[in-house]
Structure 1
Amino acid sequence: MKYVVKLYFECDGIVDKPDVIGAIFGQTENLFGEEFDLRELQDKGRLGRISVDMDTKGGKSKGIIEIPSNLDRIETALIASMVESVEKIGPYNAKFELREIQDIRAEKLKKIIDRAKEILTNWSKEKTLDIKEVLNEISNAVKIGEISEYGPERLPAGPDVLTDPNLIIVEGRADIINLLRYGYRNTVAVEGASGKIPESVVELSKQKRTVIAFLDGDHGGDLILKELLNANTKIDFVARAPVGREVEELTGKEITKALSNMMPLTQYLKRQQETQTTEALLRQAPAEENAQMATTTVTTIVQPKEVQIQIPASAIEEIKKLPGTLEGIMFDENWNPIEKIQVRDIIPKLEAAEENKVAYIIFDGVITQRLLELASEKKVKLLVGVRIGGITKSLDNVKILTISDILTSY
């Protein structure tokens, strides 16, 4: 958030905090259209949670209201003015008065500058580290994360491979080293498997509560999984590096994302089978049709029924660019882009659109109940957002997914 709007209020009666917040929402609704509806702005992350600090005395209520804002200066000033216009809380007359709009960034910069001055002042007073102490500290850190060996095959492993109730199985020594770098110590490598999974890994997997196969994002990863299953290795989840990448080269964030997107083994195998079926159909089509049918199959698990959506590779490339932009794209029936728009403009644009004109909407925002119902009215087939908000009622004619669902499948 960039700003905090602080207002003082007085009320000629005793009220509770929910009454104050309800009055703000109710008496500002549709003053400046849906674009400045406070609930919509909160759903989109443009306004934060409204906080109320109040007390009652002499039969009256008074206190301070704080509204965090990620809008620009003009829009934030308009929000402050809207809240000042509130005249009643419940049945009682009330008065709201702006005290200040705090620029959080300015406060942060001031703290940074003050801290920099403090660091500079104390710099000369700091004890110069002895080079031997530095070398000893580095040496001890390396020993803590030192790679170990497991089983008669002397397989590369993390130091907690025996003690941790969970296990991560990877392909090689370089994968173990990279995972150790980011704190993953319950690991063992099959060393390429060479057509046969070491028996010690098979037996170890049966002793663990949860076993994750963390594989490279290439054909080699597919082969390792096949060999693990052929050897009757216990596998609960499958995690994959991004397509064309190897576990040994991933950053800490990429490792965390890959593991958070892991799938139960049965679901993963089902997804693979569906993908292979699609690829077989593509191979049977003429070359010209192959170019048009280069798609990915996404199976949504948030709907009452599983529905397969075909998304062209050209659209996937556009979707990859959306996270972090606060933008969205509207597509027609044939996945041709209609318009790229700001997330906050999606609802008004969709309201103005003709029925059946927009078939798919992908955007860097939250799918809300209101957007879902509007999409249903306009015959939109698919909504894809960063996350799904408080959906209280699903609609069969509109499918909803997250961007991560699509990118993970692709």
Structure 2
Amino acid sequence: MAKAPTDTIKYNIRGEITIDGAVEKPDVVGAIFGQAEGLLGEELELRDLQKTGRIGRIEVDITTKAGKSTGTLVVPSSLDMVETAIIASAVETVDRVGPCNAKITIKDIEDARSAKRKLLINRAQELLKRLMSDEIPETAELTDEVRKSVQLSEITNYKGLPAGPSVKDADSIIIVEGRADVLNLLKGGIKNAVAVGGTNIPPQIVELAREKTAIAFIDGDRGGDMILKELCQVADIDFAARAPPGKEVEELGKKEVVMALRRKVPVDQVRAEKATTAAVQSPQAAGGGNSSALLDELKSIKGKLVARLFDKEMKQITEVEIKDLINSLAEVKPDCVVFDGIVTQRLVDSASRAHVKTLVGINKSAISITHNIQIVTEK
């Protein structure tokens, strides 16, 4: 029997077989051809259709148990949809296999092309996932490599110091601690940075600071404070910018770098705040009876979660709940605030706008800018 080429198969007729007796596969196939003969006319004669390859080899899978045979069959067809349905109905008319009663039930006519399409889609999805997981990271790595090589090619030496390519010609320079800081600024497109390489400030930096607007961009730690102090002593620094507390310049993302530089302050303001560091102190450092009186006032409201606002002569103006303190500052504009809470940077900023001179609280958080406000704390 001829077998229809798999690339011409359009449909697969799938059915189930139940036979009252023990039979073999050839018995089932013979019964189908024998009982369908002459049933559908010459054009749909099964034997002729199979000889011409329009019907494929009938596949039968059968098992026998306890005197009964059950199984499945598949009839491949390259006929059109209607003719295939007629063939399926003809197969279902088989009621005997040899001497045994039989029943064939057609369960499905499967569109072979649809099955191929599903396989095609699934395979395409697998290939696409593999492409995205394997190729795209390589592209990203390639991009990073190119970017890194460009950045490395852009970093130069200014009289022996790691620097961006624009240091020599720019009107202003950004002074950072090390080579990694210069590289990180180059990532963000900032090309006028130069590194000091430590706390020993080289004469090249002094020369640059004398000729150009100098911005010291320091780490948000004690090391950054030390470098800024040294810079201010030997060089003409105009502005100071600081990384967020606990972070180094080389760790910052582009947005953080830009924000830090936007928040730069004149170095004179930094010096003034350093001079008033004694104002950010414990009561022992505050000295004098004034701090003692303020702390006594603090003790009297401790645990009440309130704030008392005083004028210049330390006469109480009003008492408010802590949650209303910041809003009250703008309205009352007191000279001194004593409250049962923690002095934060937000409160210091609000107090500065209200021209408050003294803040007294239980404790304080990290304060980077005091705005020349005296801060007295119990702890």
TM bucket normalised to smaller: 0.3 to 0.5
Between Structure 1 and Structure 2, which shows a larger proportion of helix residues?
A: 2
Which structure has the larger Rg over C-alpha atoms?
2
* TM-score, with structure 1 as normaliser: 0.40
